[in-house]
Amino acid sequence: MGATRAIIRLDHLGHNIEEIRRAAKAARRAPMLCLAVKADAYGHGMIRVALAAAELGVDCLAVARVDEGIELRRAGVSLPILLYSLATPEECAEVVEHSLSPLVADEGQVRLFDALARRRERTLRVHLKIDTGMGRIGCRPDEAPDLARAVVECGSLELGGVATHFAVADGRDPEYTKRQLAAFESALSAIRAAGIEPGIVHAANSGGLLGHPDSWYDMVRPGILAYGYYPSDEQERRLDVRPVMELRSRVVFIKEVEAGAGVSYGVTWRAPRRTHIGTIPVGYGDGYNRLLSNRADVAINGVRYPVVGRVCMDQIMVDLGPECSVSRFDEATLFGYTPGAPTAEELANLCGTIAYEITCNVGTRVPRVYRDGGQ
């Protein structure tokens, strides 16, 4: 195996899911758990994470693309699979074929899914998505009862649930989320008043799970928390979650350079003194963001060394200091769970983004190595 790989600690995933369960159990009844495995499980590897989640007793999985759902079915996943984004009309037959549970937000979709399910003599379970302030997909709250009725009356569809999604549940100010919840509540009441049973009611992403217990309903829908990160730095960190992914590589080359020696494209860094430069074969082609040039640290044998010069597509350089104690082929942690090493969150802050994007961007050429313990 090459030097660069992402260690995926499935035991940490299990631990985080237990923590989420423990937190959500503070509710009167424990809600079900739907784990987002979209975008290759936030970069962790969709199939392995999905199979582990099924073993951990997760109730439902969620993807964003129809192709992702099909891949899960082909891997033998039999759990319910929610489709968080909308399918194109051409994809809808496959949604039915593979028993994915789409979110529906308009009558046209309801009619199409009904026709496709009828043709296959099947019943398709759909979830009604209400837009209460995210402004992405979903019907208006006042349209929800008619749409729910359209679902239950059309014969080949079953109303599996009613859902909404939060825009700022991970924020400091709860007001906007409270307004979203109030809009969701009134839509739910109107659906029930119309004599329609809404099925599984769900709303909470990681932010809602952490900050809004009244949003837990019948099912919570975490993603990032299960992968060991908080959705933002604005919420109290009361769960003990651990990063699941660690991006590692090795120092493949070390050389001593004189003061003034330039490093990497554009020569944005010059040695201020005689020092040792280590080369690590990881770069933006692996998802190690170029914005980390001259900013991030890398941990080697428990010590942090600064990235110097620009991040290249396939390599970075670190300043190992005048008295170099690193040996060639020593292991380097770019980010992850090792105490003292940078976390994905730390790198995200340096890049002006969120931990989600750091783990998602770890490239497909980086092998994922699954572990159930160890280091």
Ligand X SMILES: *Cc1c(COP(=O)(O)O)cnc(C)c1O
CA 369 to chain centre: 18
Binding mask 76-95 for ligand X (x = CB under 6 A): --------x-----------
CB of 179 to ligand X, least distance (A): 18
* Binding of ligand X by 168 (CB under 6 A): no
Running DSSP on this structure, what letter comes out for residue 87?
P
Binding residues for ligand X, rule CB under 6 A, total 11
Query: How many other CB atoms are there within 10 angstroms of residue 188's CB atom?
Result: 20
CB of 222 to ligand X, least distance (A): 5
* Binding of ligand X by 44 (CB under 6 A): no
Q: Tokens for 309, please give them.
A: 């010069």
CB of 361 to ligand X, least distance (A): 15
Q: What is the residue-wise DSSP string for 330-371? A: -EEEEESSSTTSPPHHHHHHHHTS-HHHHHHTS-TTS-EEEE
Contact between 13 and 52 (Cβ < 8 Å): yes
The Cα–Cα gap between 43 and 25 comes to 28
Question: Hey, which residues between 110 and 129 contact ligand X (CB under 6 A)?
Answer: none
CB of 306 to ligand X, least distance (A): 31
| Residues in Cβ contact with 318 at an 8 Å cutoff, skipping those fewer than 6 apart | 251, 277, 278, 280, 298, 300, 305, 306, 307, 308, 332
* Binding of ligand X by 221 (CB under 6 A): yes
Question: Among 101, 132, 180, 205, which residue sits at the site for ligand X (rule: CB under 6 A)?
Answer: 205
The Cα–Cα gap between 39 and 253 comes to 34
| Piece of the chain touching ligand X by CB under 6 A; list 140-148, 220-228, 232-240, 242-250 | 220-228
Question: Among 222, 228, 281, 287, which residue sits at the site for ligand X (rule: CB under 6 A)?
Answer: 222
- Residue 6 or 210: the one with the smaller Cβ distance to ligand X is 210
Question: Hey, which residues between 230 and 289 contact ligand X (CB under 6 A)?
Answer: 231
Candidates 321, 323, 296, 328; CA nearest to 309 is 296
CB of 39 to ligand X, least distance (A): 8
| Residues in Cβ contact with 303 at an 8 Å cutoff, skipping those fewer than 6 apart | 325
| Piece of the chain touching ligand X by CB under 6 A; list 6-14, 114-122, 216-224, 361-369 | 216-224
Q: Which residues are catalytic?
A: 38, 265
* Binding of ligand X by 36 (CB under 6 A): yes
Query: How many other CB atoms are there within 10 angstroms of residue 85's CB atom?
Result: 15
CB of 309 to ligand X, least distance (A): 34
Question: Hey, which residues between 148 and 167 contact ligand X (CB under 6 A)?
Answer: 165
Question: Among 109, 180, 206, 215, which residue sits at the site for ligand X (rule: CB under 6 A)?
Answer: 206
